[in-house]
Amino acid sequence: MNYIRILLVEDHFLARQALGCVFTPRNEMTIVAISENGVDAVDRYFEHHPDVVVMDLQLPGMSGFDAIRAIRQRDPRARILVLSNYDGSEDIYRALQAGATAYLLKDTSGSELVQAVRATHRGLRYLPRGVGDRLAQRMGAEDLTARELEVLALVAQGYSNKNIADTLGIAKKTVLIHVSNILGKVGVSDRTQAAIAAIQRGLVHLE
């Protein structure tokens, strides 16, 4: 029998156990390796060359986004399914930009996860309706620059313009310009709305 060989990348023990219970009973699927962090996931991928990677995004050390990018840079044919708690439109967009071919939330059913793995193995894009709707909302948005993302992250943490200027080593006037640009790109009218939108969309994550 030709198994679908899976690399499972998940840092939480109970989540790994649960996913094992989904895949192991399937006659056509087998887990060939398990990784608990992004750096090891890249190493395990090129050691085992799995058919499908099931990847969490919130990982210690190297993030899932960076691990996807690192794998795809060396193997553009890699088939990677993201399974994450991150439900923001920016998270979905970033994962697909990095090279993921499917994106599911962790509240998905076992049957849908199996269906998504099969689709990913066939080289198909798999996005459940809710995920696809969020992605569609994101596609029309203007990208923030790296500096604007830094400023937005500090705004979301409650920093004042002066605090942001001191933290980033830039002029307060420059911070004001960045904040103005951020409000326009995110489509909100004040800092509080920008902070809320940033968290909801996955532009920043507050640990």
The residue among 99, 95, 71, 70 whose CA lies nearest residue 83 is: 95
Domain housing 171: 146-201
Q: Are residues 93 and 129 in the same domain?
A: yes
CB 137 within 8 A of CB 87: no
Q: What is the C-alpha separation between 148 and 155, in angstroms, rounded? A: 10
Q: Is residue 183 part of a domain?
A: yes
Average pLDDT taken over every residue of the chain:
87
pLDDT of residue 136: 64
Q: Is residue 76 part of a domain?
A: yes
Q: Are residues 100 and 159 in the same domain?
A: no
Query: Tell me, what CATH number does 180's domain have?
Result: 1.10.10.10
pLDDT at residue 25 is higher than 60: yes
Q: Are residues 163 and 101 in the same domain?
A: no
pLDDT at residue 140 is higher than 60: no
Domains identified in the chain, total number: 2
pLDDT of residue 197: 79
- Token code pair at residue 154: 């500090």
Q: Kindly state the average pLDDT of the residues 4-26.
A: 92
- Token code pair at residue 77: 């044919």
Helix (H) or strand (E) segment spanning residue 148:
helix 146-156
